[in-house]
Structure 1
């Protein structure tokens, strides 16, 4: 993956074309970026199998407002917004990190939430994602040290931001 431009193009998730690219970003972000702050067993539990039936993955993206970030026609990130204001996913490919992709995605989600009259956003952010959320005004309201994924403890934090 080469990312030469710094500003991503944002668009809505398009099934079926975005199924594999977004799943790849999810896997790579956990196995790359999140692996800096979580142990190998936590990373494997969270990421799950590399090869899986992606019907459920696609259905989840289609039920949410999913925005996809592209740089040079390559998917480099995505985020989901649910009707109750939950930012369910925010993932950026590790090779595109530090280029404002998360900021662009979250800024667009906040704009969409305001248009939908959602008064507050909330998320359950990983240790690696918390700084990105904090930079955009989210506040940590609860540590979740016992959050469990596939039987393995993967701590995260509940964060909120009033709009």
Structure 2
């Protein structure tokens, strides 16, 4: 599905297994570069995990969620997951296109998809670097999570929700 012409990217559904490597690379790069500006090195390493891994589990997770992929000129530059219960599980954008409306396009598409499914609320656990993007689209913080643990390291985030009614 394509977003309006003014949006700097095309949004489409995840293609398994073709998109596994590209989306994993976006995930790794976004954490190691964008999130590194607001998290300590040990937090970044814990969150990002191994730089290379068997992508079969990654691919399965993307297939199980309704994953949307953002492309610019045919290259994957971002993705977002929406689970059946309304969790926006992941939203990641490659740093080279950060600040250009890619996250907004992905989240707008997620909101549309959620409404089409009849969901009345979305929730997410937003990193410090992602929180402003979610706030711009009407998500509100319902709880700070300073003790969120990832691979034994505290990686603070915030639980956020957005009413779709």
TM-score by length of 1: 0.96
Which runs of structure 2 are paired with 1:1-163 in the superposition (5 Å)? Answer: 7-163=8-164
What is the root-mean-square deviation in Å for CA atoms of aligned residues? 0.9
Which runs of 5 or more residues in structure 1 are unaligned? none
Between the aligned partners of 2:148 and 2:113, the Cα distance in structure 1 is 29
Please state how far the C-alpha of 1:69 moved relative to its aligned partner.
0.1
Between the aligned partners of 2:162 and 2:67, the Cα distance in structure 1 is 19
1:115-143 CA distances to partner (integer Å, 9 max, x unpaired)? 10000000000000000000000000000
Please state how far the C-alpha of 1:111 moved relative to its aligned partner.
0.4
TM-score by length of 2: 0.95
Which runs of 5 or more residues in structure 2 are unaligned? 1-5
Decide whether the 8 Å contact of 2:7 with 2:105 is kept in 1: no
- Structure 1's consecutive aligned runs of 4 or more residues displaced over 4 angstroms after TM superposition are none
- Aligned residue pairs total 159
